[in-house]
């Protein structure tokens, strides 16, 4: 069985010291394709090396709203250079309304500049959107959605937004957040998303799924779980249960969706 992790951050310093072993475990679990996102300027130079070390890793470069306030002058030219040097996608970029309200306008400027660049270079986009779904729809309905497809990473919007977002071309990527039974909203969204626009992800090293007692996992010095791509199997299992389809069928469908979005 082959799996595609539609969103992870392999360059993250929490994973880096464990990466060879983690990628070995991922391969054993069948995770043979991975979309690795560099979300801030200091990530970008680290990404290319990953594709050399691990075939199967694809890249996205972008400036995440958490880091857009501290961007360097010339960041957009730097981003363009990284995108032109590789056949990568753009992401993760977006809106985060859990941040200070004073940053909202600037977040939009940074987001729109990157969508423009993605369209100019004919690249798909990965969005991060937190507590800002209404505004994302309003803004992009006005200024234009990515022309070459887009994924909504760790989808956290409501069921009601699924159809409107499908009409705008969305792929919905679900993370370990939906493995927790109390996440009714996320599980309802999984049920509502048609198979042909569904992706699964780990967001490693963040968003660890519910892990069965005794499951081996990486931990940091404070005992906090460091998520890794092998745990994609937990997301697969939960989504397959919710959709009442065999895991193998879901694996094949999500791999083929990832390929159609990211080639
Ligand atoms: Zn992420």
Ligand 1 centre to CA of 107 (Å) is 16
Ligand 1 centre to CA of 59 (Å) is 12
Per the structure, the complete domain to which residue 185 belongs is given by: 3-262
Ligand 1 centre to CA of 37 (Å) is 7
Q: How many domains does the chain have?
A: 1
Q: How far apart are CA 115 and CA 146, in angstroms?
A: 6
Ligand 1 centre to CA of 23 (Å) is 18
Is the pLDDT confidence value at 45 over 90?
A: yes
Of 64, 119, 59, which is closest to residue 89 (Cα–Cα)?
59
Ligand 1 centre to CA of 201 (Å) is 9
Go through the chain and tell me how many residues it has: 263
Task: Please give the pLDDT value at position 32.
Answer: 96
Q: Cβ-count burial of 91 within 10 angstroms (0-12 exposed, 13-18 middle, 19+ buried)? A: buried
Q: Domain of 234: which CATH number?
A: 3.20.20.140
pTM assigned to the model: 0.97
Identify the residue whose tokens are 């927790």: 180
Please give all residues whose CB falls under 5 A of ion ligand 1, grouped by chain where several chains appear. 203
Is the pLDDT confidence value at 230 over 90?
A: yes
Buried b (16+ CB within 10 A) or exposed e, 106-134: ebbebbbbbbebbbeeebbbbbbbbebbe
Main-chain dihedrals φ then ψ at residue 126, nearest 5 degrees: -115, 125
Interhelix angle 247-262/232-243, rounded to 10 degrees, is 110
Q: Helix/strand/coil (H, E, C) string of 88-120?
A: CEEEEEEEECCCCHHHHHHHHHHHHHHHHHHHH
Q: How far apart are CA 170 and CA 177, in angstroms?
A: 19
Task: Please give the pLDDT value at position 213.
Answer: 83
Do 261 and 151 touch, CB atoms closer than 8 A?
Answer: yes
Mean confidence (pLDDT) of the chain: 96
pLDDT in tens, 119-134: 999 999 999 999 999 9
pLDDT in tens, 177-191: 999 999 999 999 999
Q: How far apart are CA 2 and CA 110, in angstroms?
A: 35
Q: What is the signed CA dihedral for 10, 14, 15, 17, rounded to 10 degrees?
A: 130
Task: Please give the pLDDT value at position 212.
Answer: 84
**Percentage of residues in the chain having pLDDT higher than 70:** 100
Ligand 1 centre to CA of 241 (Å) is 25
């Amino acid at each position: 069985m082959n799996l595609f992790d539609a969103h992870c951050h392999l360059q993250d310093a929490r994973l880096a010291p464990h990466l060879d072993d983690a990628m070995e475990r991922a391969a054993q679990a069948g995770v043979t394709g991975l979309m690795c996102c560099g979300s801030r300027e200091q990530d970008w130079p680290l990404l290319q090396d990953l594709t050399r070390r691990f075939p199967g890793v694809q890249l996205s470069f972008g400036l995440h709203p958490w880091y857009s306030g501290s961007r360097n002058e010339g960041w957009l030219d730097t981003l363009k250079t990284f995108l032109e040097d590789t056949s990568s996608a753009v992401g993760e970029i977006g809106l985060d309304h859990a941040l200070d309200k004073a940053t909202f306008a600037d977040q939009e400027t940074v987001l729109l500049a990157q969508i423009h660049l993605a369209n100019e270079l004919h690249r798909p986009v990965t969005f991060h959107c937190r507590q800002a779904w209404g505004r994302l729809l309003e803004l992009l309905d006005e200024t234009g959605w990515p022309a070459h497809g887009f994924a909504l990473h760790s989808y956290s919007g409501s069921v009601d937004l699924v159809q409107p977002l499908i009409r705008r071309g969305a792929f919905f990527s679900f993370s370990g957040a939906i493995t927790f039974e109390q996440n009714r909203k996320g599980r309802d969204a999984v049920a509502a998303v048609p198979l042909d626009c569904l992706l699964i992800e780990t967001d490693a090293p963040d968003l660890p799924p519910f892990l069965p007692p005794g499951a081996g996992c990486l931990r940091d010095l404070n005992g906090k779980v460091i998520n890794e791509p092998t745990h994609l199997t937990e997301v697969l299992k939960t989504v397959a249960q919710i959709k009442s389809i065999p895991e193998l069928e879901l694996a094949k469908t999500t791999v083929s969706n990832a390929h159609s979005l990211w080639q």
